Amino acid sequence: MGANGTNEAFVAFDRVQKSYDGETLVVKDLNLAIAKGEFLTMLGPSGSGKTTCLMMLAGFETATNGEILLDGKPINSVPPHKRGIGMVFQNYALFPHMTVAENLSFPLEVRKIGKSDREAKVKRALEMVQMGDFGGRRPAQLSGGQQQRVALARALVFEPELVLMDEPLGALDKQLREHMQFEIKHIADSLGITVVYVTHDQTEALTMSDRVAVFEDGRIQQLAPPDQLYEAPENSFVAQFIGENNSLEGVVEQINNKVAVVRLDSGDLIDTIPVNVSQVGERTRVSIRPERVEFIKDRLSPDAHTLKAEVLEFVYMGDIFRTRLRVAGKDDFIIKSRNAPDQVRLKPGQTIEIGWMPEDCRALDA
Amino acid sequence: MSDTTDAAGRIISADGRPLKSSLNRALRREKLRALALIAPLLIFVLITFIAPIADMLFRSVENDIVSNTMPRTVASLRDWDSTSGEVPGAGVFESAYFDLAVAAQKKLHSQLGTRLNYELTGMSSMFRRTGRRMDDVGEVYMDQFAALDQAWESPEVWAAMIGDADWLASEKAWAKAQNPGTPPPAFEVKEGAQAALPLTAALYKDFAAYLRLNDGDSPTQEEPWPVFYAALYTDLINRPDAATAFSGADAQRLQTSAAAVTNFEAVDYKAAFVKADDGWGQVNTWATIKAFSPKYTPGYFLNAVDMQKTPQGISAQPESQQIYILLFKRTLFLSLTIMFSCIALGYPVAWLLANLPARSANLLLILVLLPFWTSLLVRTSAWKVLLQQQGVINDTLVWIGLVNDTDRLVLINNQFGTIVAMTHILLPFMILPLYSVMKTIPPSYLRAAKSLGATNWTAFWRVYFPQSVPGIGAGSILVFILSIGYYITPELVGGTTGTFISNRIAYHISSSLNWGLAAALGTILLVVVLALYWAYDRIVGIDNVKLGG
């Protein structure tokens, strides 16, 4: 696509809608542009429409309305096998009656690539996922992780420019999953391919992606790089869904373009950054990340807001301590502190003062 | 602690026994329990299924009717050379007389005739006709003995002469008691009588046993068979001093008779037989009896493959009587055709069933199973209504103008009718295993194939179809084995060209009563099915057959 210029999207969803039954929309007005070489993750709870979007892109579902463009060309009427998109399925979908090598050879055979070429490509793809010795095995003789690698190699062996992955690591155990996350990312980067990745695991999304599209209710709630998504959620759904989050409810008392003063339901006043609020009297949900909360007076900056809190529970988690507090009448306020030599271990029943920097406190929609 | 070993290196369990025997002991209870659970069914199947089938199959080689009914003839035929071109000598005819006379009294001769008629046409009527004449021969001697001494006509005299004294006493007591239901005492030959009058004693023994078993009558009251007189004549000619073994009136009477028999008018058995039926004068008759005298015979099996056992050896049946090979071939051909029709018609339906949403799939499944709710006869008759020349299909074709009214299509009472009706009846047996296998193939395989660049057809043929082969295998085995033994539908719609081997088997079981041939045909059918099953296992692998899951 280089000739067309870099600012034109490689994959584009243009006002795409999808309905299965003609009564409810599963995907509502989706607009999304994916750049060439980008690793984009569609993240969302089940039923949010992310998989439907992926299937429309792959060609297994048709968009009810709107246009999907691949490399500038509309592909709504192109059948799946002509789209040239690689795909890794949730349960791998390795053909059980073929060996690993035959599985990899399949996309090359249907493309009528010569035998020697085929063998070379299969060998290279298997070596790329460190499965070079397993060509003669059947999928059933492989472990889950090995099957996953083969599925990946099969999706890549015919050198597609775009690869779709539908929760490919869902069936693996935690350790293997974390390992494969890096491996997939590394392979995608080294090949320079565009990846659209679907998952409901937010850690996976944050670790792997260039950008994450958070889906909920058939819409993209926020589309941003992982750090922005985590540190600057644009609405309370994203704030809640990505990472751990403390939310306090209240009403806006004063507002200017930089600061909104919110009176919490408990009566306390706090300073926040207005994100989704615009006028006095509006109800809001204030979001603070647990690791941005400080409880030792010396470490708090002078202009930090403080609130009274009662320690309810202290959990030792190794690298961090997780403490549950009662704050402003709510007893699910969490703080996380690093396990450092000078760190204080709070005890249940203790009463402390907590505080944070105003810029860490975002006033979102109620 | 648990992997200590004994001197022989075996692992010892905690209680000091070898681990293996501990394990066996632990498993024995489970095995016994399992056995107890299947025992009722096992016994039921053994008694009602395996045993009758084994007995039936045994009939395909069993042939003891000849040697049981004509033991003396079979023995004396042993020295006769059937290729000599000459009818056996007088000794054989004499043996045949004693055998047949007894058989005629017991009414067994016509069964033997029927059996031998399978091998040589005309035997049945020959035996029946001859059986009726046997008494005439005996009566020739009977009259001469009676003329000599009236006592020879008395049953008591015969019983007292040949029967043991103890037996006679208990026999008389039994006759006096008039106790119906209790059988008369078992006959015992008098000491010495056996050696003195061997043939007469043997026949009398037969007579007493027959009466005891069939009528519950006493030999002391039944008139002696005429054949006894012929036997007595033979014995007395052979042993003129037979009387010395007896005492009293018996000795006296035998003494007189022995002196007189040399002047008796003797019967020419051979002439008597030939007079009864010309067949006895032909070498072929005797050759056939000799050929089928062993207790076991390959004759039924040879017949079942259009061969025959002749006195000259094994040869093909005359062309006009060759039918079974043709029927076997036709049965195989039609069964294969039906099987492939079922695959062709059932595969798309099973595919649809497996890929429709559950609600519509269930409705369709009910439609597939609907034929099971109607009787087989009703379904077959429905095909008759549809396919006959004045039937619905022909009427429609004529009405459309595709077929001339004068030359309506013959759709039934031929192979076409059998194929159509049986395909319809056996279709569910193909669809159900196919469906249950297809149900387990995730749709993601097809999607994966398409995403890899395969067209719809390639994705189906290279990815989906191979995975559905176990279902095709299971369905094919079911349909093929069911159709190869099918009987009722071909009988109703097959006419003459569309019938199966099973129709012939049924004919031999219920009409011609040639059970041996029916059993041989059934055995061959069973062997063919097992051979095909074996071939399938070698080529496709029986592990690849799945009925679901």
- Read off the pLDDT of residues A286-313 as tens digits, 9 standing for 90 and up: 999 998 888 887 777 777 778 889 999 9
pLDDT tens-digit series, residues B418-458: 999 999 999 999 999 999 999 989 988 999 999 999 999 99
- Are the CB atoms for B478 and A123 separated by under 8 Å? no
Rg over CA atoms, chain A:
25
Q: Given a cut of 80, is residue B258 above it in pLDDT?
A: yes
Chain A residues in contact with B455 by the CB 8 A cut-off are 81, 110
Residues in chain B: 549
Cα torsion B376, B381, B386, B392: sign: negative
Min Cα–Cα distance to chain A from B450, Å: 5
Q: Which two tokens stand for residue B376?
A: 């087989």
**Residue B318: pLDDT band by 50, 70, 90 thresholds?**
confident
Instruction: Tell me which residue of A86, A33, A80 sits closest to A56, measured CA to CA.
Output: A80
Mutate which: B445, B450, B452, vs A, most A CBs within 10 A: B452
Please state the rounded mean pLDDT for residues B352-364. Answer: 90
Chain A residues in contact with B451 by the CB 8 A cut-off are 58-59, 80-81, 83, 85-87, 155, 164
Is A106 in Cβ contact with B462 (below 8 Å)? yes
Min Cα–Cα distance to chain A from B319, Å: 51
pLDDT tens-digit series, residues B174-222: 877 776 667 778 888 888 888 888 999 999 988 888 888 887 777 888 8
Chain B residues in contact with A84 by the CB 8 A cut-off are 453
Q: Given a cut of 80, is residue A2 above it in pLDDT?
A: no
Min Cα–Cα distance to chain B from A302, Å: 59
The pLDDT, as a whole number, for residue A265 is 86
- Which regions of chain B carry the CATH code 1.10.3720.10? 324-544
Q: How far is residue A93's CA from residue A88's CA, in Å, rounded to a whole number?
A: 8
**Residue A12: pLDDT band by 50, 70, 90 thresholds?**
very high
Q: Which two tokens stand for residue B501?
A: 């081997």
**Which candidate from A86, A93, A154 shows the least CB-CB separation from B445?**
A93
Q: Given a cut of 70, is residue B467 above it in pLDDT?
A: yes
Please state the rounded mean pLDDT for residues B469-487. Answer: 90
**Chain pair A-B, CB pairs under 8 angstroms:** 69
Which element (helix H / strand E) includes A309? strand A305-316
Pairing, β A362-365 against β A283-288 = antiparallel
Is B467 in Cβ contact with A80 (below 8 Å)? no
Contact status of A120 with chain B (Cβ, < 8 Å): no
Task: HSE, CB side, 13 Å, CA atoms: give it for residue B172.
Answer: 10
**Which candidate from B444, B455, B458 shows the least CB-CB separation from A93?**
B444
**Which candidate from A58, A96, A110 shows the least CB-CB separation from B454?**
A110
Q: Given a cut of 50, is residue B41 above it in pLDDT?
A: yes
Q: Given a cut of 90, is residue B539 above it in pLDDT?
A: no
Task: HSE, CB side, 13 Å, CA atoms: give it for residue B402.
Answer: 7
Residue of A nearest to B447 (CA): A60
Is B451 in Cβ contact with A81 (below 8 Å)? yes
Higher pLDDT, B328 or A278: B328
The pLDDT, as a whole number, for residue B547 is 63
pLDDT tens-digit series, residues A57-81: 999 999 999 999 998 889 988 999 9
The pLDDT, as a whole number, for residue A198 is 94
Contact status of B462 with chain A (Cβ, < 8 Å): yes
HEC string of B321-352 equals: HCCHHHHHHHHHHHHHHHHHHHHHHHHHHHHH
Which of B83-87's residues contact partners 24+ apart within 8 Å by CB, and which partners?
Answer: B83/B311, B83/B312, B85/B283, B86/B283, B87/B270, B87/B280, B87/B281, B87/B282, B87/B283, B87/B286
The pLDDT, as a whole number, for residue B1 is 45
Chain B residues in contact with A51 by the CB 8 A cut-off are none
**Residue B371: pLDDT band by 50, 70, 90 thresholds?**
confident
Contact status of B439 with chain A (Cβ, < 8 Å): no
Residues in chain A: 366
Q: How far is residue B447's CA from residue B445's CA, in Å, rounded to a whole number?
A: 5
Residue of A nearest to B448 (CA): A93
Alpha helices in chain A (DSSP H): 50-58, 100-110, 115-128, 144-156, 174-191, 202-208, 226-231, 236-241
B324-544: CATH architecture = Orthogonal Bundle (1.10)
**Residue B135: pLDDT band by 50, 70, 90 thresholds?**
confident
Q: How far is residue B421's CA from residue B342's CA, in Å, rounded to a whole number?
A: 11
Contact status of B451 with chain A (Cβ, < 8 Å): yes
Read out DSSP for A127-171? HHTT-GGGTTS-GGGS-HHHHHHHHHHHHHTT--SEEEEESTTTT
Contact status of B544 with chain A (Cβ, < 8 Å): no
The pLDDT > 90 percentage for chain B reads 33
Min Cα–Cα distance to chain B from A147, Å: 14
Q: How far is residue A61's CA from residue A83's CA, in Å, rounded to a whole number?
A: 13
Highest mean pLDDT among A302-306, B254-258, B326-330: B326-330
**Which candidate from B445, B452, B456 shows the least CB-CB separation from A158?**
B452
- State the first-to-last Cα distance of chain B, in angstroms, to the nearest integer: 42
A211-215, A345-349, B97-101, B371-375: the lowest-pLDDT one: B371-375
pLDDT tens-digit series, residues A152-182: 999 999 999 999 999 988 888 888 888 899 9
In 3-state terms, what secondary structure has residue B244? helix
| Burial label, A258 (beta-carbon count in 10 A; 0-12, 13-18, 19+) | exposed
Q: Given a cut of 50, is residue A6 above it in pLDDT?
A: no
Amino acid at A10: F
Is B442 in Cβ contact with A93 (below 8 Å)? yes
Please state the rounded mean pLDDT for residues B287-294. Answer: 89
The pLDDT, as a whole number, for residue B180 is 66
Contact status of B321 with chain A (Cβ, < 8 Å): no
Min Cα–Cα distance to chain A from B548, Å: 16
Contact status of B467 with chain A (Cβ, < 8 Å): yes
Residue of A nearest to B452 (CA): A107
